[in-house]
Chain A
């Protein structure tokens, strides 16, 4: 499975393969690459240092058994350690109290308002709650409008009183919630710097008044090394009960997750993974560990694929791809197999390295795939084997047959040629990705 990890990391780990046992020398390179991978993922420098020392110590003490190769043992150790750093258990949200009060805090632009909407939506859908959103961002222009608009699109009530003292707003919101039997109160606050004493005091005042059941720090997954100052700043002032990591649908690794958990012991409760209002998921340490190591869920794909493609078939295809003899007929077969796997986006997401290429979030229109299939099906088998012979008149016939335009056919042929080139490059090991 290591072939699929980040290039350098997998190479370094491969070197351990075949060693009789794990020694300091043969894991040195791998340790260095792991350190790089973590630093590039924005994991806090101190955490990286501890982590690397920990893994090294444990690895050297490991017994290489009969069934496990040293490289497998090693990577398992790395992953397990990462998971334990991220918090092995899932930390659920407080749901028992009535009403339950959530206070969302964070820096400017971390995504508090959007997250408030997502949380309300999540609680209603998954927990059958009746949340109330409370607009306490009285500073940013139009922040209240934004929350109101989100609320109305979700059909969730939003309590606002314009630009008043947030504590007063919260006071009235509590009465409103009681009257309207809202069992969840989600308070959106203005973004602020953790070093802005006045504004931090305002949060403390709100907190002292309502005694929230959860104080959740909303934090941008793209944050760099400064994250620790921010987390500590908020945690010192407010005693956070959890974190929500946003914008994880970008191609950031989100190493900040490690720093949060390890340095402050504040659990991560949710991750924001799309711009849509249902884009909030519970946090799974294992997935995060795999993301940071760029491992992908190859096991998951392998399981899916097994039922659909026989091993011989797959080997056959692989050979064709590598020799450059892959043609449209093969492509059609693959297309059909892929369709059986379910939505392609989900498969792409499971592939390691996809994130780096920015392909993990590609939106694939099933209609487009159907169009491609229609075009290829409108070709004769000979044409599929020899796409070079496709000239204007043949293309026009195919266009008519498939109901697509000649332009589209040209585009498909061009893409197919590029794909073939890429396959060849992969084989030659020359594929240089632009990063």
Chain B
């Protein structure tokens, strides 16, 4: 059981303080998420000592409730059934391990995943934030700015959400709080704002530029075209940019998350996902489905409202966060 060993290693690995802190943030942030999910799963194990059809049905229920995505769950269930048959698994405790293992496989899918940010060889690194309305783009930018500022980088924010009332002042407040440079204008063409902003970024020798865009529902053709234009403008001023285009997805999002990822990927080269609001009761399971169907990895997750609550995504820590109690039961 590869993944379980890895978890145990994480638990026992006390060597680095940082590592330990990171795992703790995950545990704390995912507390609510985990409580229900794991207690359900272990209840399942108590209720059914033998693996049977009813067990499968309840398991399926559990996974769907975590928003893992209907198709992904159905395929997943087929695989689990397969393994149960082939390996002649009857013990539900052992099956729990198989489940975690298979969930991990869905996400990893034999690829070498990079959760790292792609830095520019020279000049400013540009990160473009996109997503539907209300997912937390602006707040995520603030958290990223804080993080990179702490790392000693010169950060700049560009407010290209020229549509929503109050969006520009909202970002400005965050720029002041995080000691970032700021450029933004209200009620104008966002591509124009980006153009001017990036020129300044080059002059000021900024290390990292975070661009906030207006929330757009993925089926609004005009708004998606606008995004295409912004992308072109960015590439024209800084060749090779944007170095990262991050799609922000709300952890409470259901099946529509898959469509969001697909549609945004068609327009721009989405390099990663930021999964926000995981500190509620939502499981954010849709990222597994997104990874499976669109192949976009999660790069950051938001585990709370504090500036330090944005974490680099770590699939092992995430799944461990979900299943910690269960592993403890062994």
Contacts and interface: CB of A to CB of B under 8 A. Distances in A.
A56 to B, nearest CB: 16
A250 B222 CA distance: 13
B277 interface: yes
A108 B277 contact: yes
A226 B284 CA distance: 9
A107 interface: yes
A223 B254 CA distance: 5
Q: Is the interface of A mostly helix, strand, loop or mixed?
A: loop
Interface stretch (A96-104, A136-144, A397-405): A136-144
B254 A108 contact: no
A255 B255 CA distance: 10
A344 B250 CA distance: 33
A51 to B, nearest CB: 14
B219 A250 contact: yes
B252 A250 contact: no
B32 interface: yes
Contacts of A150: 165
A152 to B, nearest CB: 9
A109 B259 contact: no
Contacts of A140: 170
Contact of B70 (A36, A108, A194): A36
A142 B161 CA distance: 14
B188 interface: no
Interface string B288-319: 00000000000000000000000000000000
B280 interface: yes
Interface string B81-123: 0000000000000000000000000000000000000000000
Interface string A117-156: 0000000000000000000000011111111111001000
Nearest to A143: B166
B115 to A, nearest CB: 24
B252 A223 contact: yes
A146 B165 contact: yes
A230 B254 CA distance: 14
A45 B61 contact: yes
B65 A141 contact: no
A363 B163 CA distance: 18
B256 A225 contact: no
B66 to A, nearest CB: 7
B254 A42 contact: yes
B280 A195 contact: yes
Nearest to B73: A39
Contacts, number: 151
Interface in A173-202: 193-195
A193 B259 CA distance: 25
A358 B221 contact: yes
A149 B255 contact: no
B176 to A, nearest CB: 10
A145 B186 CA distance: 13
Chain B CB within 10 Å — which of A249, A255, A275 has the most? Answer: A275
A229 B35 CA distance: 13
B221 A225 contact: no
B235 interface: no
A149 to B, nearest CB: 4
A251 interface: yes
A160 interface: no
Contact of B254 (A141, A233, A252): A252
B136 interface: yes
B11 interface: no
Contacts of A363: 221-222
A352 interface: no
B205 interface: no
B239 interface: no
B281 interface: yes
Contacts of B174: 141
Given A144-B166, A247-B132, 18 more contacts: A107-B277, A108-B277, A109-B250, A141-B169, A141-B173, A141-B174, A143-B166, A147-B165, A149-B165, A193-B279, A224-B252, A224-B257, A227-B254, A247-B134, A251-B219, A255-B254, A358-B218, A361-B217
Interface of B: 32, 61, 64-67, 70, 132-136, 163-167, 169-170, 172-174, 217-222, 250-257, 259, 262-263, 277, 279-283, 286
23 contacts: A109-B136, A113-B166, A142-B166, A146-B165, A149-B165, A149-B166, A193-B280, A220-B250, A224-B254, A224-B257, A224-B282, A225-B64, A226-B67, A226-B252, A226-B283, A227-B252, A247-B134, A249-B219, A249-B220, A251-B218, A251-B219, A362-B221, A435-B259
Interface of A: 36, 39-42, 45, 107-111, 113, 140-150, 153, 193-195, 220, 222-227, 229-230, 233, 247, 249-253, 255-256, 275, 358, 360-363, 434-435
